[in-house]
Structure 1
């Protein structure tokens, strides 16, 4: 589900009204922890801090971000396994949570049984960037050079099993080329390695935007269903004949067994926060669409995602 700005602002105003009576009777009566399984300063971290600030205003309690970067974005989900289902510990749930169990000989969790899905939020603008002085003017030139030099090109991503890693390997399969994946803990390390010449390219979410606008990086391609508003001259993967769209939508979840009444309070707060003008400004900055879903719709979405992602993992033969 996508919102226009006008509808989003109207929804934000409506959901800024008092929350259900449960909240007034006691929940929440203290701060809420929000685990963000990515490094500080990246796109997800900035977006989650913005939405948590607005959700906290609606809840009457702070929603405090705690970063747990590494392992391809699954450390927040893993941490929920040891938390009480009282609504006071939540985590951002990247799509890697639905992949890693099917890539692992010993799955760390069951994405369908071990969590309570609370509220869906948004998705990413992904793309591939190179240094501004790199010899490739466009993505096709980059791919042609990579194919001519098998195993000699590398690219950075935020980790194994992330949408960035999976999509780049899908590109390699479609174009019959071989390159080397270099996982990093976050966008800062990724950008430093690219700017320092340690890697040829970076596949990441739109945290690279300011460096592209400053002329330090060159954006070769984006992965959305249509061209990015801020970079209308840059083609999509689909336009280049690769027939791939990757936006890696995500939301917020808690431990399994949460009280449905608590879930409703949290969902109301986060859906209002998604549509708040302050948060919408952050989404616009990173070309991220608002994609709000309540717990029932989000849970159904997760079931579909798990089915699709597990089938893809089996088809590609991916292993940790």
Structure 2
């Protein structure tokens, strides 16, 4: 028998059907309804903080809501995004920078989060220019002077970086391995702390991204080497580590992620707003000041890159003898 429906039941069914079909879409269309928090896992004032504050401010114009920067340093840049991945709701209102350490630290120590499975990858943004600096009054006039001192005093020559497992740390471990010298590594929470320690004479040198730029340009620090494929436009007189005989190159690309399970429509809204911000001339001006290049990848492209990098970096960590036992 064919079931009979009352006029009221038929009216309710025809009314609710399109609402159910478009509920997800309408939710995404109404988003965002409040400010978005962008976790920067480094102290305020460093190069990453300077970059993402500018990017977030421009993106807020396309989102129609403020992008609020929350500095959450620690764990070589992994504490902030790692905590977000485990605890934040996947509603698009909390996102984070995803530094290379996220793909390396899990090979070096136990962490409660998975670098791939606990995140939604939004887009790739940029990469760093890394350099090695000393104070202006340092006895090391060149990078080779510093390495020569390490040969004379095994373990007696130190350098600071932005944390264990970060690119500035591992680049110098690769140099030490190639030069057959023993360097003492001193980790810091971020660029701002590291720069103050170097200026205060608490470490002999620092390996870091371009948060040292104003100190180099101001004559307080000396840039001994950079770690790109070519010399920088801003400091063309400074040699690369590769030129000096060390096959060590790195730019440590980074992007933005959200917790796993984010509505794909909201992920696309975030991607589109931040992509427009990336293309904005004001953003490109900030990148130029930091001597960084755009590194754009879509969410799926960024995820594929991270998966490949996680496997590749395991081999690097093991080769340098830094893998967890």
Give the TM-score taking structure 2 as reference length: 0.89
After superposition, the C-alpha distances for 1:267-307 in whole angstroms (9 at most, x for unaligned) are 01111111111111110001000111111111111111111
The 1-side partners of 2:288 and 2:233 are apart by 9
Please report how far the alpha carbon of residue 214 of structure 1 lies from its aligned counterpart in structure 2 after TM superposition: 1.0
Q: 1:102 aligns with which of 98, 107, 120?
A: 107
Question: What's the counterpart of residue 281 of structure 2?
Answer: 277
Question: What's the counterpart of residue 261 of structure 1?
Answer: 265
Q: 1:89 aligns with which of 77, 90, 94?
A: 94
Question: What's the counterpart of residue 31 of structure 1?
Answer: 35
Please report how far the alpha carbon of residue 319 of structure 1 lies from its aligned counterpart in structure 2 after TM superposition: 4.2
Whether 2:176 is the aligned partner of 1:172: answer yes
Whether 2:232 is the aligned partner of 1:228: answer yes
Q: 1:289 aligns with which of 284, 290, 293?
A: 293
The 1-side partners of 2:191 and 2:61 are apart by 29
* Matches for 1:8-157 after TM superposition, within 5 Å: 25-80=29-84, 81-104=86-109, 106-157=110-161
Residues 150 and 178 of structure 1 are in contact (CA less than 8 Å); yes or no, is this contact kept in structure 2? yes
Divergent runs of 4+, >4 A: 21-24
Question: What's the counterpart of residue 5 of structure 1?
Answer: none
The 2-side partners of 1:36 and 1:256 are apart by 18
Answer 1 or 2: higher relative contact order, Cα 8 Å, separation at least 6.
Answer: 1
Q: 1:211 aligns with which of 211, 215, 220?
A: 215
Relative to structure 1, is the Cα distance of residues 23 and 201 closer, same or farther in structure 2, using a 3 angstrom cutoff? Answer: farther
Please report how far the alpha carbon of residue 108 of structure 1 lies from its aligned counterpart in structure 2 after TM superposition: 2.4
Q: Which runs of 5 or more structure 2 residues have no equivalent in the other structure? A: 1-24
Please report how far the alpha carbon of residue 314 of structure 1 lies from its aligned counterpart in structure 2 after TM superposition: 2.0
Please report how far the alpha carbon of residue 107 of structure 1 lies from its aligned counterpart in structure 2 after TM superposition: 2.7
Q: Secondary structure at the match of 1:99?
A: helix
After superposition, the C-alpha distances for 1:183-242 in whole angstroms (9 at most, x for unaligned) are 111222211221121111011110111111111100000011111111000011111111
Residues 28 and 266 of structure 2 are in contact (CA less than 8 Å); yes or no, is this contact kept in structure 1? no
The 1-side partners of 2:218 and 2:259 are apart by 42
Please report how far the alpha carbon of residue 22 of structure 1 lies from its aligned counterpart in structure 2 after TM superposition: 6.2
Relative to structure 1, is the Cα distance of residues 264 and 151 closer, same or farther in structure 2, using a 3 angstrom cutoff? Answer: same
> Aligned residue pairs: how many?
299
Relative to structure 1, is the Cα distance of residues 24 and 78 closer, same or farther in structure 2, using a 3 angstrom cutoff? Answer: closer
Residues 42 and 71 of structure 2 are in contact (CA less than 8 Å); yes or no, is this contact kept in structure 1? yes
Residues 167 and 252 of structure 2 are in contact (CA less than 8 Å); yes or no, is this contact kept in structure 1? yes
Question: What's the counterpart of residue 8 of structure 1?
Answer: none
Residues 157 and 183 of structure 1 are in contact (CA less than 8 Å); yes or no, is this contact kept in structure 2? yes
Residues 23 and 59 of structure 1 are in contact (CA less than 8 Å); yes or no, is this contact kept in structure 2? no
Residues 147 and 177 of structure 1 are in contact (CA less than 8 Å); yes or no, is this contact kept in structure 2? yes
After superposition, the C-alpha distances for 1:141-180 in whole angstroms (9 at most, x for unaligned) are 1111111111111101111111111111111110010111
After superposition, the C-alpha distances for 1:63-104 in whole angstroms (9 at most, x for unaligned) are 111000111000122222101111110000000001111111
Q: Secondary structure at the match of 1:91?
A: strand
